[in-house]
Amino acid sequence: MVFGFSLFTADSAYTNTISARYYKDGSEILIKQENANPRKLTPIEAGLLQGYPINNGYEIIVSDVQAYRQFGNSVSVPVVSSLALEIKKQILDKIQS
């Protein structure tokens, strides 16, 4: 971590959380590039980090600014899926007992 921004590489174990204000400067998550300035995530990369199936027919049809806002305000898809499965399990367990 460097003052004012966070730099990540392909070897990083994790990234910071994407915030709804990522579109402003992207300083929470910058991607290191060899022999070039760090870059922001693309909207597709932001969606992938949140668990959206970008390559499965899901399209980003809003501006980059709106996409960053929406992904930054989103709960990760795998988290929602896991919570829903656990709630279902708990309800079915109560019904069966």
Contact criterion met (CB below 8 Å) for 7 and 30: yes
Q: pTM of the prediction?
A: 0.74
- Dist. CA 14–CA 36, nearest whole Å: 22
- Dist. CA 85–CA 90, nearest whole Å: 9
Is residue 1 predicted with pLDDT exceeding 70? no
Per-residue pLDDT tens over the stretch 8-51: 888 888 887 787 888 887 778 888 899 999 999 899 988 888 88
Contact criterion met (CB below 8 Å) for 78 and 64: no
φ, ψ of residue 26 in degrees (nearest 5): 65, 15
Is residue 55 predicted with pLDDT exceeding 80? no
Q: What is the pLDDT of residue 3?
A: 54
Per-residue pLDDT tens over the stretch 61-86: 999 999 999 998 988 888 999 999 99
CATH of range 7-96; options 1.20.1090.10, 3.90.120.10, 1.20.120.420, 1.10.1330.10: 3.90.120.10
Contact criterion met (CB below 8 Å) for 43 and 68: yes
